[in-house]
Amino acid sequence: MAFVLTFLLRRLAQGIVVVFLVSFLIFALLRLIPGDPVRIMLGTNVSEVTLEQKAQELGLRDPIPVQYANYIYDLVRGDLGQSYLLGESGGAAPTAQNKQGGQITAEAELAREAEIKTARAPVLKLIGDGLPFTLQLAGLGLLFTFLVALPLGLSGGLKPERWQAKLAFFTGSLFISLPNFWLALVLILLISSKANLLPSIGYKGFAYTILPAIVLAVELAPVIIRGLSVSVAGSMQQGFVDGGIVRGLPWSRIVWRHVVRNASIPMLNLFGVQIGGLLLGGVFVTEYIFDYPGIGKLTIQAVLQRDFPIIQGVAILAAGVLVLVNILVDLIATYIDRRLKY
């Protein structure tokens, strides 16, 4: 047990370093490349003075290390800051862009600023609102992935020279060659608008998750099919298979208890390193294309509008999740195969 604890502590410490590094990289990157969030926030018809005032109020004119220190200070108290643009109700906070018209008086500007300040939504709440939708999409996507990839990958690995392996290979090659946004378009066209089988675009119930989940699964499945067939085929060649036959074990027992168990370690590692990243990236794109109200859509919009706090919050969350998944993967791996060291 003591090993497990020291292992966990060491990995968590490393993980925290990585998360901090990610947060700093994103933080610095956002501030170094051009594009002023205050300009987008207040619109084009405000004076330079107001602009500067607002920027200073938000701390955007401080040196980057100072800004970062303030951000981290809030972060450790569980405050991820507030969106620059999104309002409490989820819609856009009232900004100058919403109010057309000629000259704006100083009082009006002040009043509006107060309005903006109170109406800005906390990042934590925005992420919390989107999270259930994203988890639902990711979960269903993974389910579809496994339904397709496990049988194909397993049978492909067990029968390396037969048609099963060819089927696995060609399905994998085809899926990996389908650009997700194109597939999404074609599915929307064929299944939603022509055949009217499933709804898409937006979210008004569970059925809206199915098409995006299929797109996600097509993106993830090839990685699993390929990894599984390679590692199953690899462990089929090892001595314990012949040993099992000599010992007179039933074939199914050799396959399930020995081959699959041995093949599952590289699969788990694959899962941590590749699937985690792919799933995140895939969720972002599919949500954006299907206008699905999760964290992915939130983030892509935030990036396009320079809404720094949201981008930072999501990046930290994503890095944290990936770090945790990887620790979990290593824990499960040592549980399956006791020979592995913590």
Partner 1 sequence: MTAEIISAEAPARAMRGESMTRRMFRQAWRMRGFQIGLAIFAVLVLTAIILPELSGTTATKPSVKERFLPPIFLEKGTWAHIAGTDQLGRDLFVRSLVGLRNALGIGIASVVLMFVLGTGLGIISGYRGRWVDTILMRITDAQLSVPLIVLAITILGVTRPNFGTIIAVLVLSGWPIYARVARSVTLAERQREYVRGAKILGASDTRIMLLMIAPNVLPPIAFVAVLDVARMMIFEALFGFIGIGVQPPTPTFGNIIADGTKYIVNHWWIPTMPGVLLIIALLSINLMGSALERARNKIFAGA
Considering only the stretches 120-128, 136-144, 175-183, 253-261, report the one whose residues sit in contact with partner 1 under the rule CB under 8 A: 175-183
What DSSP line would sit under 131-156, residue for residue? HHHHHHHHHHHHHHHHHHHHHHHHHH
- Give the one residue of 26, 127, 215, 255 binding partner 1; rule: CB under 8 A: 26
Residue 202 lies near partner 1 (rule: CB under 8 A)? no
Nearest-angstrom CA–CA distance, 154 and 229: 6
Nearest-angstrom CA–CA distance, 118 and 87: 9
Q: How many CB atoms lie within 10 A of CB 258?
A: 18
Cα distances (angstroms) measured from residue 197 to each of 139, 189, 191, 287: 22, 11, 6, 20
- Give the one residue of 3, 181, 251, 335 binding partner 1; rule: CB under 8 A: 181
Distance of closest approach, residue 304 Cβ to partner 1, in angstroms? 5
Amino acid identity of 10? R
- Give the one residue of 69, 106, 186, 197 binding partner 1; rule: CB under 8 A: 186
Distance of closest approach, residue 212 Cβ to partner 1, in angstroms? 15
Residue 281 lies near partner 1 (rule: CB under 8 A)? yes
Residue 157 lies near partner 1 (rule: CB under 8 A)? no
Give bridge partners of residue 82 from the DSSP assignment.
122
Residue 173 lies near partner 1 (rule: CB under 8 A)? yes
Distance of closest approach, residue 341 Cβ to partner 1, in angstroms? 11
Task: Read off the tokens for 262.
Answer: 């041995």
Distance of closest approach, residue 165 Cβ to partner 1, in angstroms? 11
Task: Read off the tokens for 174.
Answer: 């085809």
- The DSSP element (H or E) to which 86 belongs, if any, is strand 82-87
Choice between 53 and 274, CB closer to partner 1: 274
46 Cβ neighbours under 8 A, 6+ residues apart: 96, 104, 109
Residue 314 lies near partner 1 (rule: CB under 8 A)? yes
Binding string, 215-234, against partner 1, x = CB under 8 A?
A: -----------x---x----
Nearest-angstrom CA–CA distance, 183 and 126: 29
Residue 154 lies near partner 1 (rule: CB under 8 A)? no
Amino acid identity of 309? P
Q: How many CB atoms lie within 10 A of CB 112?
A: 20
Residue 111 lies near partner 1 (rule: CB under 8 A)? no
Distance of closest approach, residue 260 Cβ to partner 1, in angstroms? 19
Scan residues 37-96 and list those touching partner 1 (CB under 8 A).
none
Nearest-angstrom CA–CA distance, 229 and 165: 8
Residue 34 lies near partner 1 (rule: CB under 8 A)? yes
Residues binding partner 1 (CB under 8 A): 17-19, 21-22, 25-26, 29-30, 33-35, 169, 172-174, 176-182, 185-186, 189, 193, 226, 230, 269-270, 272-274, 277, 280-281, 284-285, 288, 299-300, 303-304, 306, 311, 314-315, 318-319, 322-323, 326, 329-330
